[in-house]
Amino acid sequence: AGGKYDYDLLIIGCGVGGHGAALHAVESGLKVAVVEGHDIGGTCVNRGCVPSKALLAASGRVRDMKNTMHLKSMGIQVDNVRYDRQPIADHANNLAASIQGNLKRSLEAIGVDILIGQAKLTGPNTVKYSLPGRVDVGGTVTAGDIMIATGSVPFVPPGIPIDGKTVFTSDHALKLEWVPDWVAIIGSGYIGLEFSDVYTALGSEVTFIEAVDNLMPGFDKEIARLAQRVLINPRKIDWHTGVLASKVTPGVPGVKPVEIELTDFKTKEVVDKLEVDACLVATGRAPYTQGLNLASVGAEVDRRGFVPVNERMQVLDTKGKVVPHLYCIGDANGKYMLAHAASAQGISAVENICERPHVLNHASVPAACFTHPEVSFVGMTEEAAREAAEKAGYGDKVSISKTSFKANSKALAEGEGDGMAKMIYRRDTGEILGVHIFGLHAADLIHEASNAISMGSSIGDIKFNVHAHPTLSEVLDELFKQAHVEGIPDI
């Protein structure tokens, strides 16, 4: 810092977004501090991506062993498969703690000051922080630039009481304190789906309660239909769609069931009542932005609590003008609520702070759901792409190519032929509008498509690329080769 402020950059919140930004800022020569009110690593490391993937890894192995048909076809016999719940829970929690430690050490090693406390703005360039019940921490610091990276918390619809034991959110479910015989999951987005994978592998029955008329809203409809045939129908899962859980009464584990009243989403009439052992509320995430005191710089959060930003991650005031030297990244701005988007936005914001203008191309940011098999996508769904193309006047140029994992030797060798990949593209220009994959290691496979979109490659640029055989990557190779682009030879 040039002496005028305590720091060049102060980051409020040290989840993956704040952490990535801090590392990049130090690399760029800035003097940096982070203020964190809870745990370094935020949601992703402590209550999100990391523990959920650890639970999915362990429960996925249980599922594999129990799937005797699959193993028998390869001549493998596994009898009396059993698991112990506590070591699985420990695997998830210990991994989170260990990664949290790594992140903290990585900041300390490069001289980032870690301030402990809940922070709020008190005016341009100034932040006050404190922690209730701790007189030893707190203070006021100044910085040339300030970045809000405060993330999100589970969104719980009004009228659903969370007791943390029988009615709970992902925050509690990740601790795996028990495996209920029957669990209702409200919401069939990626968090609900991943937990249905964990619970059914560990022996629970699952009932989805979904407000929209189909399961897996937000995913490409065709991919969702296929995924449902594999992830939902053959497992101990049933569902109610087009309904709201309008009243939920917590129970007592092993003694009294949870009561859930379902009302029709449209008519609001009570249509059913369920009694289950537990209820996981997976109805999305809400920004964690209250108490930031944005008013002190002339800004305010939007109707849903997100901090408004422009494409350079600069905070906008109530008149839509840039608030100088104030940025917001990650879940708190609501642009793309995923861990890798948060860190990419953090890096992008640091570029802008260092006067190297940068705009992140959100159209190339992939998303994944880590069920067995996985679902991933980048860009638009077919429905969204067709709508956008109609509006832009090239509706008749939208084409689709598809390929099945059943045509992929590696997938078949693994006994994992369930799955498909689908690409939506423009047949006049070869532009890739969206790619969706359901199948083995879909979350890893999507990056070839996301890199192509980020580099602005057309199908013509990549159609003649060569992929090793036999690999799952040939699923994408096949997808590109099957596309018919005007002026490019078919293969």
Integer CA distances (angstroms), 419 to 188, 224, 263, 408, 410, in order: 19, 11, 34, 10, 13
Measured CA to CA, the distance from residue 74 to residue 81 in angstroms comes to 18
Smaller CB separation from ligand FAD, 14 or 65: 14
* Residue of 18, 192, 251, 434 interacting with ligand FAD (CB under 6 A): 18
Residue 35 lies near ligand FAD (rule: CB under 6 A): yes
Among 60-68, 329-337, 410-418, 460-468, the segment contacting ligand FAD (CB under 6 A): 329-337
Integer CA distances (angstroms), 379 to 114, 242, 395, 399, 424, in order: 37, 27, 17, 15, 9
Residue 141 lies near ligand FAD (rule: CB under 6 A): no
Q: Of 13, 16, 11, which Cα lies nearest the Cα of 41?
A: 16
Diameter of the chain by CA atoms? Answer: 72
* Residue of 60, 144, 151, 334 interacting with ligand FAD (CB under 6 A): 151
Residues 76-135 that bind ligand FAD (CB under 6 A): 118-119
* Residue located via tokens 């800004």: 299
Neighbours of 267 (CB within 10 A): 9
3-class state of residue 314 by DSSP: strand
Burial 419-432 (b: 16+ CB within 10 A, else e): bbbbbbbbbeebbb
How far is residue 184 CA from its own chain's centroid? 21
Measured CA to CA, the distance from residue 40 to residue 76 in angstroms comes to 43
**Residue 17 beta carbon to ligand FAD: minimum distance, rounded to whole angstroms:** 3
Smaller CB separation from ligand FAD, 193 or 462: 193
Residue 170 lies near ligand FAD (rule: CB under 6 A): yes
53 is in an annotated binding site: yes
151 is in an annotated binding site: yes
Cis peptide before 489 (omega within 30 of 0): no
Our CA dihedral for 186, 84, 78, 406, rounded to 10 degrees, sits at 30
Residue 342 lies near ligand FAD (rule: CB under 6 A): yes
Residues 42-71 that bind ligand FAD (CB under 6 A): 42-44, 47-49, 52
241 is in an annotated binding site: no
Which helix (H) or strand (E) segment is 130 a member of? strand 126-131
Our CA dihedral for 442, 443, 448, 449, rounded to 10 degrees, sits at 80
338 is in an annotated binding site: yes
* Residue of 6, 9, 11, 13 interacting with ligand FAD (CB under 6 A): 13
Neighbours of 17 (CB within 10 A): 34
Residue 248 lies near ligand FAD (rule: CB under 6 A): no
* Residue of 121, 176, 223, 338 interacting with ligand FAD (CB under 6 A): 338
Q: Is 447 a catalytic residue?
A: no
Measured CA to CA, the distance from residue 86 to residue 58 in angstroms comes to 12
Residue 12 lies near ligand FAD (rule: CB under 6 A): yes
User: How many residues make contact with ligand FAD (CB under 6 A)?
Assistant: 38
Among 31-39, 72-80, 268-276, 385-393, the segment contacting ligand FAD (CB under 6 A): 31-39
Question: Catalytic one among 70, 362, 372, 469?
Answer: 469
**Residue 336 beta carbon to ligand FAD: minimum distance, rounded to whole angstroms:** 8
**Residue 47 beta carbon to ligand FAD: minimum distance, rounded to whole angstroms:** 6
**Residue 340 beta carbon to ligand FAD: minimum distance, rounded to whole angstroms:** 5
Q: Can you give the binding site for ligand FAD, defined by CB under 6 A?
A: 12-18, 35-39, 42-44, 47-49, 52, 118-119, 149-152, 170, 191, 288, 292, 330-332, 337-340, 342, 370
Residues designated as active site:
469
Q: Which residues are annotated as a binding site?
A: 53, 150-152, 187-194, 210, 284, 331, 337-340
Q: Which residues are annotated as a binding site for FAD?
A: 53, 150-152, 331, 337-340
